[in-house]
Amino acid sequence: MPSTTPALVDLRGRTLGHYRLTQMLGSGGMGTVYLAEQTIIGARVAVKVLHPYLAQDTRLRARFYAEARTVNLIGHPNIVRIFDINESEDGLHYFVMEYLAGTPLSRLPRPMEPGLLTWLLVQGCDALEAVHRSGVVHRDLKPDNLLMVARPGETPTLKVLDFGVAKALRPSPQQEQTMAGQVFGTPAYMSPEQWTGQPVDGRADVYSLGVTGYLLVTGQLPYPRGQLAEMVLSSAPPPPLYPPHELVPTVSEPLSRAIMRALARNPAERFPSALEFKKALIAAVQPAPRAHPAVRSAPPPRPPSMPIPATPTLPEPNDPTPAPTWTARVRRGNGTSPVVVHCNELSRGGVFMCCAEPFPPLFTRLEFTLLIGGEEVECVGEVVRHVDSTLARTWRMSPGVGIQFTNPSPRLRELLLRLRPLRRPSAVQQSTAAEEALALI
């Protein structure tokens, strides 16, 4: 069935007020964010433009402008700053934000070093505490909306972005009547009470930050995509959730307990506030991480004889539920250094390696070292599936090859069982395109 959503309008090259749009940075449900240049002094800023096809809806325009007012009301160093809000002569609604040269947490390698993770989560708690004290719930906290800004010689800074679906904790009766029963958020990070359309408070954001922490420190979401909805809507007891320290040996038990408490299904069992979550995190890992090193220059391109080509870019940061990733070092037969690639969709049978074309031929035997939960495991496999760039665009995934394990070692089998517990049979199956590709292996 064809999509009814109008195509995005590319506004690069346009000038809105004193700002010339130069590059598209990302797009979401409400608007598109552009890198822009202030035409008078040349300063770089970010401009968020409401999708033109939404501009005719009075309620959506009001929500778009409410995002800017919300951010200015809070005014916190860990929250993106907004400078200006306006409407162009031809009806484009936009606001101007500080441009942050950083990396969304969704695009950082996983599993993340626990000290760095804790440092980032603590800053996230600081921002959330300010948000909640201002009478607002973010409701869409996820790795895509959390940006790490790292400058050489300084500790990394976290910035919270995108308050497009934020909601006042004490709305007016008219707002309650309008919004009742509507669910906002990103499925993999939504709290159970959000799933069922119940009233939410700051503890829903604590849950979302807990999901983010679990993903970053273990390399996988606490529940497979779609399973949380099944759990919330089912009367059966939920499946066991492995604490992070059981999956990644470098994670301390206090940090693991803090993340697990933030993930409690019952809001009453979570931390009562972001401040309490912060205290538990600080108690778990006291030292701050070392200053972020200077960015190294990119390595030279690999020779064309390698069996696995250079790693392509990670999936777009606008992917609402980024797939868990692992890292593999693939050895080459010509004696040169191994090639490092990102992997995802790890299962008992194999793994999907994200890489660029040309692909190694089908049934090519590969030897590689897979990093799982902080432990390196030697593996052997065969190439059994190609997903070229055309298929990857259709399925909204990275191009690459499916690898089937050959005689996996007992240790590999044990780690796969722990990382990917079997799902109980369900009447509702929400498979992703990448899972469908792996099913063909």
Question: Which are the catalytic amino acids?
Answer: 140
Q: Are strands 19-27 and 15-16 parallel, antiparallel or unpaired?
A: antiparallel
Question: At CA 361, angle to CA 358 and CA 366, rounded to 5?
Answer: 100
CB under 8 Å to 420, separation ≥6 — which residues?
220, 346, 347, 348
**Cβ contact 11:25 at 8 Å:** no
Tell me the three state secondary structure of residue 32. strand
What long-range pairs does 248-253 form, CB within 8 A, spacing at least 24? 248/111, 248/114, 248/217, 248/218, 248/219, 248/373, 248/374, 249/373, 249/374, 249/375, 250/113, 250/114, 250/374, 251/114, 251/217, 251/218, 252/114, 252/284, 252/285
| Cβ 260 vs Cβ 241: under 8 Å | yes
> Is the distance from CB of 143 to CB of 212 less than 8 angstroms?
yes
**Would you say how long the chain is, in residues?**
441
